[in-house]
Structure 1
């Protein structure tokens, strides 16, 4: 059965009704499909599946495995009754055993059988390893996972931290340019570790990265988040320094909503400006989706629309709805979700398409497993919001 064979999720449904349908899709379709065990002794979550649900033998990126750990921890928290705990424990201990390098960082990829393949280290991978350790530690109660997170953080502080703030980005992407993106996921992971442990070091790390974003990554004239920076963390010259991804504006806004709960100065204001820009300049009203790239002056640079910006648009609206209670945020969440579920209309229920071209056609390719993290995070926000603030979601 395809998602579209069920009653369609429309923007005039209540968020509560949307949450019920999305929870059913997540538990009944996505979770069983993406937890199917491959042959062999090593448990590896799928790197990707065809839109018919078939798994292929390909390199397994560490950050995708880490994202799956997060996703299944969240599904377990939300009430999925499948074997999430066993899968999470098998996966996280595999990464600790097979992925850790002598310097305390983690490798980039494994082969299809789980043997180390690309031994280079990348900041993006380290950020998601921290996220996996935070959620697996919280979900399973295994304190050793928090100790592993501290050891990784010690390695980052010793070898990756830059004198003027921020982090070196590792051995894969050229550096410079520096990017906001891995720093954003470090912030996400530090927030998760603080929520799980209450340890002051994680709050201090989170506040450092948030301050870095406010000082360097956000264009002061427009409130937009730029992407690429020089060694001093100032935007690159030319058009490259003015590139804005609306999805990242929303993703940072979602994180700043948590910082607003911490009463971090100006966090709510930063969230307001980020989503304001993204909604004004980064949403295609014809398709009802957030597009990939614009520039700080609002010019469209890439009008295609990947799946993940739709989840970040939804998360930002839901977090802001809980803070403000404003009808406009509820409507924005409904519209964002209506855009997101268009990507789920594929032959195998529980898979998705990833890239929607500006001309209305889809790129035919496997469903990336990396998107399950984005989807699960957004649907968890939806379920949590409808439970915590039912009157605002009616």
Structure 2
């Protein structure tokens, strides 16, 4: 979701120009050509990941990755890439609708490498990203019928996947604990669908997810976001109930900044507390990157650092910069971008590392296509903020 309002140029924002140019060149001139060609299948699907040699492998194609890539190339096109982004997005969204939608209106979990159904179960996380994709594709491609498809998917979720304690159940692929993460992406999807369609029902759903987070997911003492819960949304017993992911603190904080624009009185206060916790306990003092997991008390659980928390750190810094217009937030945005760039130093330009170890080494593994969504969203925020582009 990239929906920055135009901003007046100020010294703090103008100082982002050095990194904005780098971001635009890398995304549009290096990453987009690679992932739209080598990262593409004849069937109209994107590859799941690229190897260290820059080739697609035979991993099953998860639906949420396809949905994310449709969003990513729609944004890349909006930002000015002159490649065939419309053809890519149209082909993939049409394939998902034709071959990924089940009789009950929900979407399957994954495809094989040749485009057949690999896992026909419906995953809650996937449904959130399909809603997100349909909204963004409707706007990017000028296809209002995709909003009708989003309505149909939402009706299927309302019919059988609501949970009595709030939120949604993970019905086909049950897990021992309830997770906040799918609900965060429903919040993101509902917010985007409201911005795109103007339909009040989507706004009401987004606010429902915001209240769920405020009332259940956020620890009232620390302002930190918890990850795992019992069926009735009480923090999980044992160590799982103490886990905080700094990246998710930043991601929810960024979403609450959107809610503040709608007039939610306490949205900015929630965003500020989430951001403060993430910055206080979730940034490695050695590598200046956002790490994976800490406890409510701020103790490090996983000192490794995946790529995606770096993008969320950047997004919330930019949102706060637009609101506060301070040199401190501009500097935090620069630091977050430089941290993200560490992951782009690859033998095949346009691919990325995913996991930075505590000792400064990277895990050697294929570049996950799922990260293109995170990267594109963050770099679009950067370019929109610097250039004053309307989202």
Shorter chain as normaliser: what TM range?
Answer: over 0.9
Classify 1:234/1:40 alpha carbon distance in 2 versus 1 (closer, same or farther; 3 Å): closer
Mapped pair 1:137 → 2:138: yes
Query: C-alpha separation between the residues in 2 aligned to 1:240 and 1:332?
Result: 30
1:39 deviation in Å? Answer: 8.2
Structure 1 segments, 4+ long, off by >2 Å, are: 37-41
Classify 1:38/1:67 alpha carbon distance in 2 versus 1 (closer, same or farther; 3 Å): closer
User: How far does the alpha carbon of each residue in 1:243-300 deviate from its partner, in whole angstroms, 9 at most, with x for none?
Assistant: 0000000000000000011111200000000000000000002101000000000000
User: How far does the alpha carbon of each residue in 1:196-227 deviate from its partner, in whole angstroms, 9 at most, with x for none?
Assistant: 10011100100000000000000000000000
Query: C-alpha separation between the residues in 2 aligned to 1:326 and 1:169?
Result: 42
1:359 deviation in Å? Answer: 1.4
The answer (yes or no) to whether the contact 1:37–1:43 under 8 Å persists in 2 is no
1:93 corresponds in structure 2 to 94
2:205 is paired with a residue whose SS is: helix
Q: Which residues of structure 1 form unaligned runs of 5+?
A: 1-12, 390-394
1:54 deviation in Å? Answer: 1.1
Query: C-alpha separation between the residues in 1 aligned to 2:233 and 2:289?
Result: 30
1:3 corresponds in structure 2 to none
1:178 corresponds in structure 2 to 178
Classify 1:76/1:240 alpha carbon distance in 2 versus 1 (closer, same or farther; 3 Å): same
Mapped pair 1:110 → 2:73: no
Mapped pair 1:251 → 2:263: no
Alignment of 1:12-91 (within 5 A): 14-36=15-37, 41-91=42-92
1:41 deviation in Å? Answer: 4.4
1:8 corresponds in structure 2 to none
Query: C-alpha separation between the residues in 2 aligned to 1:160 and 1:386?
Result: 41
The answer (yes or no) to whether the contact 2:39–2:55 under 8 Å persists in 1 is no
The answer (yes or no) to whether the contact 1:178–1:229 under 8 Å persists in 2 is yes
Mapped pair 1:316 → 2:316: yes
Q: Which residues of structure 2 form unaligned runs of 5+?
A: 1-13
The answer (yes or no) to whether the contact 2:40–2:46 under 8 Å persists in 1 is no
1:223 corresponds in structure 2 to 223
2:7 corresponds in structure 1 to none
User: How far does the alpha carbon of each residue in 1:347-373 deviate from its partner, in whole angstroms, 9 at most, with x for none?
Assistant: 011000000111111110000000000
1:145 deviation in Å? Answer: 0.3
1:170 deviation in Å? Answer: 2.9
The answer (yes or no) to whether the contact 1:37–1:44 under 8 Å persists in 2 is no
1:172 deviation in Å? Answer: 2.1
1:57 deviation in Å? Answer: 1.9
Classify 1:266/1:37 alpha carbon distance in 2 versus 1 (closer, same or farther; 3 Å): same
The answer (yes or no) to whether the contact 1:245–1:292 under 8 Å persists in 2 is yes
Alignment of 1:1-394 (within 5 A): 14-36=15-37, 41-174=42-175, 176-388=176-388
The answer (yes or no) to whether the contact 1:246–1:294 under 8 Å persists in 2 is yes
Classify 1:213/1:374 alpha carbon distance in 2 versus 1 (closer, same or farther; 3 Å): same
Query: C-alpha separation between the residues in 2 aligned to 1:169 and 1:327?
Result: 43
Classify 1:81/1:342 alpha carbon distance in 2 versus 1 (closer, same or farther; 3 Å): same
